[in-house]
Amino acid sequence: SDMKIINDLYKPAIGIIPIGDRFTMGGEQAAYACRHFFEFSTVIPCHYNSFKGFIADDATTFLRAMGPDAVKVRVMAPGATEDL
Protein backbone atom coordinates (compact mmCIF):
# COMPACT_ATOMS: atom_id res chain seq x y z
CA SER A 1 0.00 0.00 0.00
CA ASP A 2 0.98 3.65 -0.21
CA MET A 3 1.28 3.70 3.56
CA LYS A 4 3.91 0.96 3.53
CA ILE A 5 5.84 2.80 0.80
CA ILE A 6 5.81 6.00 2.89
CA ASN A 7 7.17 4.06 5.86
CA ASP A 8 9.86 2.36 3.77
CA LEU A 9 11.02 5.60 2.16
CA TYR A 10 10.72 8.12 4.99
CA LYS A 11 10.52 6.17 8.28
CA PRO A 12 8.23 8.69 10.05
CA ALA A 13 8.51 8.52 13.84
CA ILE A 14 5.29 10.39 14.61
CA GLY A 15 1.94 9.62 13.04
CA ILE A 16 -1.03 12.00 13.13
CA ILE A 17 -3.78 9.59 12.17
CA PRO A 18 -7.43 10.38 11.30
CA ILE A 19 -9.89 8.13 13.15
CA GLY A 20 -13.28 9.84 12.60
CA ASP A 21 -14.77 7.01 10.49
CA ARG A 22 -17.13 8.99 8.25
CA PHE A 23 -14.72 10.72 5.88
CA THR A 24 -11.51 9.05 7.09
CA MET A 25 -10.43 5.71 8.50
CA GLY A 26 -12.27 4.54 11.57
CA GLY A 27 -10.51 3.51 14.77
CA GLU A 28 -10.04 -0.13 13.78
CA GLN A 29 -8.76 0.65 10.29
CA ALA A 30 -6.43 3.36 11.59
CA ALA A 31 -5.02 1.02 14.23
CA TYR A 32 -4.47 -1.65 11.58
CA ALA A 33 -2.55 0.86 9.43
CA CYS A 34 -0.43 1.96 12.39
CA ARG A 35 0.38 -1.57 13.48
CA HIS A 36 0.97 -3.14 10.05
CA PHE A 37 2.33 -0.42 7.78
CA PHE A 38 4.24 1.94 10.07
CA GLU A 39 6.77 1.83 12.89
CA PHE A 40 5.70 4.99 14.74
CA SER A 41 7.13 5.74 18.17
CA THR A 42 4.24 8.16 18.81
CA VAL A 43 0.71 8.20 17.38
CA ILE A 44 -1.68 11.13 17.73
CA PRO A 45 -5.29 10.48 16.66
CA CYS A 46 -7.12 13.34 14.91
CA HIS A 47 -10.32 14.18 13.00
CA TYR A 48 -12.74 12.87 15.62
CA ASN A 49 -15.10 14.40 18.23
CA SER A 50 -15.90 17.40 16.06
CA PHE A 51 -19.41 16.58 14.78
CA LYS A 52 -21.35 14.80 17.54
CA GLY A 53 -23.15 11.73 16.24
CA PHE A 54 -21.70 12.13 12.76
CA ILE A 55 -18.11 10.96 13.31
CA ALA A 56 -16.38 9.09 16.14
CA ASP A 57 -16.89 10.87 19.47
CA ASP A 58 -13.69 9.67 21.12
CA ALA A 59 -10.58 7.55 20.63
CA THR A 60 -11.83 4.48 22.55
CA THR A 61 -12.18 2.19 19.53
CA PHE A 62 -8.77 3.26 18.22
CA LEU A 63 -7.07 2.71 21.59
CA ARG A 64 -8.66 -0.72 22.01
CA ALA A 65 -7.68 -1.74 18.47
CA MET A 66 -4.09 -0.59 19.04
CA GLY A 67 -3.79 -3.32 21.69
CA PRO A 68 -0.31 -3.43 23.22
CA ASP A 69 0.76 -0.54 20.96
CA ALA A 70 -1.73 1.78 22.72
CA VAL A 71 1.17 2.97 24.91
CA LYS A 72 2.43 4.87 21.83
CA VAL A 73 -0.85 6.83 21.53
CA ARG A 74 -1.16 10.38 22.82
CA VAL A 75 -4.76 11.56 22.89
CA MET A 76 -4.67 15.33 23.02
CA ALA A 77 -7.39 17.83 23.91
CA PRO A 78 -8.38 20.32 21.19
CA GLY A 79 -5.91 23.20 21.16
CA ALA A 80 -3.40 21.36 23.36
CA THR A 81 0.28 21.37 22.53
CA GLU A 82 3.01 18.94 23.39
CA ASP A 83 6.75 18.78 22.80
CA LEU A 84 7.74 15.61 20.98
pLDDT given for residue 14 in this prediction: 98
Give how far the C-alpha of residue 45 lies from the chain's centroid of Cα atoms, to the nearest Å: 4
Alpha helix stretches (DSSP H) within the chain: 2-10, 27-37, 60-66
| Residue 80 is assigned to a structural domain of this protein | no
Rounded CA separation 58/44 (Å):
13
pLDDT given for residue 19 in this prediction: 96
pLDDT given for residue 57 in this prediction: 87
| Residue 84 is assigned to a structural domain of this protein | no
* Domain count within the chain: 1
| Residue 19 is assigned to a structural domain of this protein | yes
Low-confidence ranges of the chain (pLDDT < 70): none
Give the domain range for residue 26.
Answer: 2-72
| Residue 65 is assigned to a structural domain of this protein | yes
pTM for the full predicted model: 0.91
